[in-house]
């Protein structure tokens, strides 16, 4: 099932993310600004587009972790998507192979899951800190 868009003869990977999470939205914005041109299509987990185009990615699962649907239909979840995301981002491509080294899977899984489970709390703390900095300035 290859429904992804095509840009300059290359099929794009589809990044499915929590569209209501401020941290996720900021990450998607950063990826858009730094991606190798046309590498990604971004779809919020909550969208009708995700439900119609990628029914294999259910809402409960994509609310726990980002999903990257590769052009060949392979779905990478959470930390497993990170090397493929970085491989499509300018100036950070060098880090993609590092995330595939022995032992890094365990560390990245623990770190990703810890962060993903707390992302709304982290977003709230960051927002509060940013508000304090603005008031102090």
User: Tens of pLDDT along 96-136?
Assistant: 888 888 888 888 889 988 988 988 898 888 888 877 666 66
Neighbours of 7 (CB within 10 A): 14
Measured distance CA(95)–CA(84) in Å, rounded: 10
Compute the average pLDDT of residues 8-20: 83
DSSP letter (8 states) at residue 35: B
CB 45 within 8 Å of CB 16: yes
Compute the average pLDDT of residues 42-52: 95
The answer to whether residue 8 scores a pLDDT higher than 80 is: no
Query: Which residue intervals of 14-102 are DSSP H helices?
Result: 22-34, 48-53, 59-62, 82-86
At residue 87, the pLDDT reads 93
Measured distance CA(13)–CA(27) in Å, rounded: 16
At residue 29, the pLDDT reads 94
Of 39-53, 74-88, 111-125, where does mean pLDDT reach its minimum? 111-125
Listed residue (30, 43, 37) closest to 3, CA to CA? 43
Domain boundaries, the chain: 6-136
């Amino acid at each position: 099932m290859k429904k992804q868009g095509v840009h300059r003869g290359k099929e794009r990977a589809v990044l499915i993310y929590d569209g209501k999470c401020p941290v996720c939205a900021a990450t998607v914005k950063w990826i858009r600004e730094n991606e190798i041109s046309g590498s990604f299509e971004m779809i919020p987990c909550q969208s009708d587009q995700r439900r119609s185009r990628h029914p294999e990615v259910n809402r409960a699962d994509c609310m726990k972790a980002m999903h990257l649907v590769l052009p060949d239909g392979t779905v990478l979840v959470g930390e497993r998507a990170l090397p493929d995301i970085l491989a499509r981002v300018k100036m950070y491509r060098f880090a993609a192979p590092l995330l595939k080294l022995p032992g890094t899977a365990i560390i990245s899984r623990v770190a990703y899951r810890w962060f993903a489970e707390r992302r709304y709390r982290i977003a709230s703390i960051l927002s509060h800190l940013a508000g304090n900095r603005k008031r102090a300035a």
